[in-house]
Copies of this chain bind each other. A is one copy, B any other.
Amino acid sequence: MTVSVAELGRRARVAAADLAVRTRANKDAALLAMAEALEANAGSIVTANADDVARARSAGTSEAIIDRLRLDEARVGAMADGLRQVAGLPDPVGEVVRGYALPNGLQVSQRRVPFGVVGIIYEARPNVTADAAGLALKSGNAVLLRGSSSAAASNAAIVDVLARAVADAGLPVDAVQLVRGGGHDAVKQLMRARGLVDVLIPRGGAGLIRSVVEESTVPVIETGVGNCHVYVDADADLARALEIVLNAKVQRPSVCNAAETLLVHADVADAFLPGALAALREHGVTVHGDERVQGYRDDVVPATDDDWAQEYLSLDLAVAVVDSLDDAVSHIRRWGSGHTEAIVTDSLAASRRFTATTDSAAVMVNASTRFTDGEQLGFGAEIGISTQKLHARGPMGLPELTTTTYVVTGDGHVRS
């Protein structure tokens, strides 16, 4: 029995009105109950997941993707721990962002309130189901979850457990709902549910995100694509530069905050590149270089425009020599995705100019691009990394799942 997205949305709106006035104590109790319920029902969740895994295997899915899909007791336990962590975070709702008195005595207060209903469209990993549900609930929002069909059985089992725990804790059962079945048509309905869904956050590959951005009439927060750059300035400490480049590229190449392009100032190219290219090779990195870079080693693959534009998510790195900081910035503005750029420099002037002119969600000075992450920046949890400029930019924590309202209090004030 499938329920229409519109019907789910209506139920979510009713739940959201209730959630919006719940205290932090109410919400934290529900989060802890959700965590406990996951652990208590780990067996049935793992069983449901086995169906998804079997289906994926018979469809010839790669082992790498099957590994992302697979749940065991330990992974269910990690989901529960994530919920407990969210319970420990401060409640963003009710925070006064700005407040002041006007000359006429009106008291103005801009307060954080929940969005209402948040839609999340995501791929593969079923742990996103619990993460997203927890962050939405803590920020006072009802959530409509739409996972990939490959994880349908796992997601259904997880949401059933979570919704029951939410209800047992005295919060509305419709606070956490899964959009089940219906294929792309259901996704389309979710993207067109303007008035029912307040914001839609796609999490997944570039194709998914593009289609949501193109088709949605619900406001979207775009996440994800990271073509990140490291620029080694003329005034860089070169030992430090090498450490940062290696960390940004090889520590975890499959994630959006890994580096994809290295730009080296011409003045330090001779001193830096021979050693750096050798070290990258030792770490298994294939370098795609411009002509000047090709001059340093035989194993450099000639780079094309595709290389400057690409998010490899693999042990590949595009490398170019630039003649100035401004050329580095021009390269980044032309080819980058606005996610994260790093400069390695000891020059204050260079760092000021790079941070002022690079138009990205995050700019690292003498630090690895890998720090663009909610957990690393101390947010405690992260719903995604926004690469758009509207509403949220960079890692999104709990406050980014809220909007604000102006409360204006007077004694019968009227306009003249």
Name the residue in A351, A372, A389, A407 with the highest tally of chain B Cβ atoms < 10 Å from its Cβ: A389
A364 within 8 A of B: yes
Q: Assess whether B219 is in contact with A217, with CB atoms less than 8 Å apart.
A: no
- Contact status B221-A408, CB under 8 Å: no
Given A116-B389, A414-B244, answer yes or no on A100-B199 (Cβ-Cβ < 8 Å). no
What is the count of identical protomers in the complex?
Answer: 2
The interface bits of chain A over 389-409 (1 if a CB of B lies within 8 angstroms of the residue's CB, else 0) are 111011100000001111111
**Is A17 in the interface zone, CB < 8 Å from B?**
yes
A367 CB within 8 Å of chain B: yes
B251 and A407 within 8 A (CB): no
A365 within 8 A of B: yes
Chain B CB within 8 A of A237 CB? yes
Is A356 in contact with B21, judged by CB distance below 8 angstroms?
yes
Q: Is A131 an interface residue (CB 8 A)?
A: no
Contacting pair A362 B219 (CB below 8 A): no
Bound CA span A408–B343, Å: 11
Question: Chain A at the B interface: mostly helix, strand, loop or mixed?
Answer: mixed
Q: Which of A322-361 contact B (CB under 8 A)?
A: 333, 344, 351, 355-357, 359-361
A246 to B414, CA, bound (A): 9
A214 at the interface (CB under 8 A from B): yes
- Asked whether, in the complex, the Cβ of B357 is within 8 Å of the Cβ of A414, the reply is no
Query: Cβ of A378 and Cβ of B102 under 8 Å apart?
Result: yes
Chain B residues with Cβ under 8 A from A394's Cβ? 110, 404-406
Using a CB–CB cutoff of 8 Å, the interface residues on chain A facing chain B are 17, 20-21, 100, 102, 106, 108, 110, 113, 115-116, 194, 198-199, 213-214, 217, 219-221, 237, 240, 243-244, 246-248, 251, 333, 344, 351, 355-357, 359-368, 370-372, 376-378, 388-391, 393-395, 403-415
